[in-house]
Amino acid sequence: MIKRELYEKVYDILEKVTPLQSDCGALCGKACCHSPDEDAGMYLFPGEEAMYSEVPPWLKIELSDFTYGNNKSVLIAICTDRCQRELRPLACRIFPLTPYMAHNGVMSIKIDPRAVPMCPLAKQFASDTLDENFVDAVVRAFRLLSKEKEIQSFVLGISRLIDEQERLLNLFISNHRGKKQRGAIRRKK
Ligand code: SF4
Ligand code: SF4
Protein backbone atom coordinates (compact mmCIF):
# COMPACT_ATOMS: atom_id res chain seq x y z
CA MET A 1 0.00 0.00 0.00
CA ILE A 2 1.34 3.43 -0.92
CA LYS A 3 1.92 5.51 2.18
CA ARG A 4 0.08 8.74 2.90
CA GLU A 5 3.46 10.43 3.47
CA LEU A 6 4.33 9.98 -0.21
CA TYR A 7 1.16 11.82 -1.25
CA GLU A 8 1.83 14.52 1.35
CA LYS A 9 5.23 15.07 -0.25
CA VAL A 10 3.76 15.16 -3.75
CA TYR A 11 0.89 17.50 -2.76
CA ASP A 12 3.51 19.75 -1.23
CA ILE A 13 5.63 19.82 -4.43
CA LEU A 14 2.53 20.84 -6.38
CA GLU A 15 1.02 23.19 -3.80
CA LYS A 16 2.24 26.53 -5.10
CA VAL A 17 2.53 25.95 -8.86
CA THR A 18 -0.14 26.64 -11.48
CA PRO A 19 -0.27 25.96 -15.25
CA LEU A 20 0.41 29.64 -16.06
CA GLN A 21 1.95 32.38 -13.93
CA SER A 22 -1.24 34.35 -14.48
CA ASP A 23 -4.70 33.02 -13.60
CA CYS A 24 -5.54 30.61 -16.44
CA GLY A 25 -9.11 30.39 -15.10
CA ALA A 26 -9.66 33.84 -16.60
CA LEU A 27 -9.24 32.29 -20.09
CA CYS A 28 -12.06 29.81 -19.74
CA GLY A 29 -14.18 30.65 -16.69
CA LYS A 30 -12.45 27.83 -14.75
CA ALA A 31 -13.91 25.25 -17.12
CA CYS A 32 -12.11 22.34 -15.45
CA CYS A 33 -13.91 23.07 -12.17
CA HIS A 34 -17.37 23.61 -13.69
CA SER A 35 -18.34 20.48 -15.54
CA PRO A 36 -22.02 20.42 -16.55
CA ASP A 37 -21.95 16.68 -15.79
CA GLU A 38 -22.72 16.13 -12.10
CA ASP A 39 -20.97 12.76 -12.09
CA ALA A 40 -17.75 14.06 -13.66
CA GLY A 41 -14.77 13.77 -11.39
CA MET A 42 -11.11 12.97 -11.14
CA TYR A 43 -9.65 9.50 -10.75
CA LEU A 44 -7.72 9.13 -7.52
CA PHE A 45 -4.27 7.61 -7.93
CA PRO A 46 -3.72 4.28 -6.12
CA GLY A 47 -3.68 4.86 -2.35
CA GLU A 48 -4.48 8.58 -2.68
CA GLU A 49 -7.66 8.01 -0.67
CA ALA A 50 -5.36 7.99 2.38
CA MET A 51 -5.39 11.80 2.03
CA TYR A 52 -9.15 11.75 2.60
CA SER A 53 -9.51 9.67 5.76
CA GLU A 54 -11.91 12.47 6.67
CA VAL A 55 -13.83 13.26 3.49
CA PRO A 56 -14.40 17.03 3.27
CA PRO A 57 -18.04 18.17 2.80
CA TRP A 58 -17.40 19.38 -0.78
CA LEU A 59 -16.15 15.98 -1.96
CA LYS A 60 -17.73 12.60 -2.78
CA ILE A 61 -15.51 9.57 -3.31
CA GLU A 62 -17.04 6.69 -5.28
CA LEU A 63 -15.99 3.59 -7.18
CA SER A 64 -15.53 4.34 -10.87
CA ASP A 65 -16.13 1.96 -13.80
CA PHE A 66 -12.45 2.10 -14.72
CA THR A 67 -10.13 -0.72 -13.69
CA TYR A 68 -6.43 -1.26 -14.26
CA GLY A 69 -3.90 -4.08 -13.90
CA ASN A 70 -5.51 -7.26 -12.76
CA ASN A 71 -9.02 -5.76 -12.56
CA LYS A 72 -8.20 -3.35 -9.74
CA SER A 73 -10.86 -0.76 -9.03
CA VAL A 74 -10.25 2.96 -9.26
CA LEU A 75 -11.89 5.56 -7.06
CA ILE A 76 -13.29 8.76 -8.47
CA ALA A 77 -13.45 12.03 -6.54
CA ILE A 78 -16.37 14.30 -7.40
CA CYS A 79 -16.41 17.82 -5.99
CA THR A 80 -19.90 19.09 -5.25
CA ASP A 81 -18.83 22.61 -4.29
CA ARG A 82 -15.77 24.85 -4.45
CA CYS A 83 -12.88 22.89 -2.95
CA GLN A 84 -10.36 23.77 -0.29
CA ARG A 85 -7.38 24.33 -2.54
CA GLU A 86 -4.92 22.65 -0.16
CA LEU A 87 -6.99 19.45 -0.31
CA ARG A 88 -7.58 19.22 -4.07
CA PRO A 89 -6.73 15.81 -5.54
CA LEU A 90 -3.53 15.08 -7.47
CA ALA A 91 -5.36 14.97 -10.83
CA CYS A 92 -6.46 18.61 -10.30
CA ARG A 93 -2.95 19.67 -9.28
CA ILE A 94 -1.40 18.40 -12.51
CA PHE A 95 -4.22 19.25 -14.98
CA PRO A 96 -3.92 19.60 -18.00
CA LEU A 97 -0.83 17.36 -17.80
CA THR A 98 -0.81 13.63 -17.25
CA PRO A 99 1.73 10.90 -16.73
CA TYR A 100 1.86 8.61 -19.75
CA MET A 101 3.49 5.23 -20.32
CA ALA A 102 4.41 4.34 -23.90
CA HIS A 103 4.15 0.77 -25.18
CA ASN A 104 7.88 0.34 -24.51
CA GLY A 105 7.30 1.07 -20.79
CA VAL A 106 8.91 4.53 -20.78
CA MET A 107 7.01 7.04 -18.68
CA SER A 108 6.73 10.73 -19.55
CA ILE A 109 4.59 13.76 -18.78
CA LYS A 110 2.41 15.17 -21.53
CA ILE A 111 -0.68 17.23 -22.23
CA ASP A 112 -3.71 15.11 -21.47
CA PRO A 113 -5.84 14.79 -24.62
CA ARG A 114 -8.85 14.20 -22.33
CA ALA A 115 -8.44 17.87 -21.30
CA VAL A 116 -8.71 19.18 -24.87
CA PRO A 117 -12.51 19.65 -25.02
CA MET A 118 -12.50 22.03 -22.05
CA CYS A 119 -9.02 23.47 -21.56
CA PRO A 120 -7.64 26.18 -23.87
CA LEU A 121 -4.09 25.34 -22.74
CA ALA A 122 -4.50 21.68 -23.73
CA LYS A 123 -5.78 22.61 -27.20
CA GLN A 124 -2.30 23.87 -28.07
CA PHE A 125 -0.93 20.33 -27.49
CA ALA A 126 2.45 21.65 -26.34
CA SER A 127 3.60 21.60 -22.76
CA ASP A 128 6.01 24.49 -23.51
CA THR A 129 3.02 26.87 -23.40
CA LEU A 130 2.79 26.07 -19.66
CA ASP A 131 4.81 27.68 -16.90
CA GLU A 132 8.09 25.79 -16.63
CA ASN A 133 7.97 25.71 -12.81
CA PHE A 134 4.62 23.93 -13.09
CA VAL A 135 5.93 21.38 -15.61
CA ASP A 136 9.08 20.80 -13.51
CA ALA A 137 7.01 20.24 -10.37
CA VAL A 138 4.81 17.67 -12.15
CA VAL A 139 7.92 15.87 -13.43
CA ARG A 140 9.43 15.86 -9.91
CA ALA A 141 6.20 14.58 -8.38
CA PHE A 142 6.04 11.66 -10.81
CA ARG A 143 9.72 10.87 -10.41
CA LEU A 144 8.80 10.06 -6.80
CA LEU A 145 5.48 8.37 -7.49
CA SER A 146 6.71 6.23 -10.37
CA LYS A 147 9.00 4.28 -8.05
CA GLU A 148 5.82 2.52 -6.87
CA LYS A 149 4.77 -0.54 -8.90
CA GLU A 150 1.09 0.25 -8.28
CA ILE A 151 1.47 3.71 -9.79
CA GLN A 152 3.28 2.25 -12.82
CA SER A 153 0.43 -0.18 -13.35
CA PHE A 154 -2.21 2.57 -12.97
CA VAL A 155 -0.37 4.89 -15.38
CA LEU A 156 -0.17 2.03 -17.87
CA GLY A 157 -3.97 1.65 -17.58
CA ILE A 158 -4.77 5.34 -18.07
CA SER A 159 -2.27 5.54 -20.94
CA ARG A 160 -4.39 3.17 -22.97
CA LEU A 161 -7.44 5.42 -22.29
CA ILE A 162 -5.32 8.35 -23.48
CA ASP A 163 -4.33 6.44 -26.65
CA GLU A 164 -8.02 5.91 -27.41
CA GLN A 165 -8.84 9.58 -26.78
CA GLU A 166 -5.95 10.62 -29.07
CA ARG A 167 -7.19 8.27 -31.79
CA LEU A 168 -10.66 9.84 -31.62
CA LEU A 169 -9.26 13.38 -31.63
CA ASN A 170 -7.09 12.67 -34.68
CA LEU A 171 -10.10 11.16 -36.45
CA PHE A 172 -12.16 14.24 -35.63
CA ILE A 173 -9.38 16.59 -36.83
CA SER A 174 -8.87 14.74 -40.13
CA ASN A 175 -12.67 14.60 -40.77
CA HIS A 176 -12.89 18.32 -40.04
CA ARG A 177 -9.96 19.08 -42.43
CA GLY A 178 -11.53 16.85 -45.09
CA LYS A 179 -14.83 18.76 -44.86
CA LYS A 180 -13.01 22.13 -45.14
CA GLN A 181 -11.06 20.96 -48.21
CA ARG A 182 -14.22 19.62 -49.89
CA GLY A 183 -15.88 23.00 -49.19
CA ALA A 184 -12.93 24.83 -50.79
CA ILE A 185 -13.01 22.59 -53.90
CA ARG A 186 -16.76 23.15 -54.30
CA ARG A 187 -16.30 26.92 -54.09
CA LYS A 188 -13.61 26.78 -56.83
CA LYS A 189 -15.90 25.00 -59.32
S1 SF4 B 1 -9.55 24.50 -18.04
FE2 SF4 B 1 -7.34 24.81 -18.38
S3 SF4 B 1 -7.15 27.03 -18.68
FE4 SF4 B 1 -9.13 26.68 -17.71
S5 SF4 B 1 -8.76 26.87 -15.47
FE6 SF4 B 1 -8.55 24.71 -16.02
S7 SF4 B 1 -6.34 24.42 -16.40
FE8 SF4 B 1 -6.75 26.63 -16.49
S1 SF4 C 1 -11.53 19.65 -6.58
FE2 SF4 C 1 -11.16 21.85 -6.76
S3 SF4 C 1 -9.63 22.03 -8.38
FE4 SF4 C 1 -10.52 19.99 -8.56
S5 SF4 C 1 -12.22 20.18 -10.04
FE6 SF4 C 1 -13.08 20.47 -7.98
S7 SF4 C 1 -13.09 22.68 -7.63
FE8 SF4 C 1 -11.66 22.26 -9.34
- Measured from the CB, is residue 82 less than 6 Å from ligand 2? yes
Q: Cβ of 1: how many Cβ atoms within 10 Å?
A: 8
Q: SS3 for 149-182, per residue? A: HHHHHHHHHHHHHHHHHHHHHHHHHHHHHHHHHH
Which ligand is in closest contact with the Cα of 81?
2
Task: Give the mutation target among 33, 38, 60, 87 for probing the ligand 2 site: most ligand atoms within 8 A of CB.
Answer: 33
**pTM metric for this prediction:** 0.90
Q: Which atom of ligand 1 is nearest to the CA of 24?
A: 8
Cβ within 8 Å of residue 106, ≥6 positions away: none
How far is the C-alpha of 24 from the C-alpha of 134, rounded, in Å?
Answer: 13
Number of domains forming the structure of the chain: 1
Residue span of the structural domain in which 145 resides? 4-188
Are 50 and 136 contacting, i.e. CB atoms less than 8 angstroms apart?
Answer: no
Q: Would you write out the chain's pLDDT as a tens digit for each of its 189 residues?
A: 788 999 999 999 999 999 999 999 998 999 999 887 777 899 999 999 999 999 999 999 999 999 999 999 999 999 999 999 999 999 999 999 999 999 999 999 999 999 988 999 998 766 678 999 999 999 999 999 999 999 999 999 999 999 998 898 888 777 777 776 776 666 666
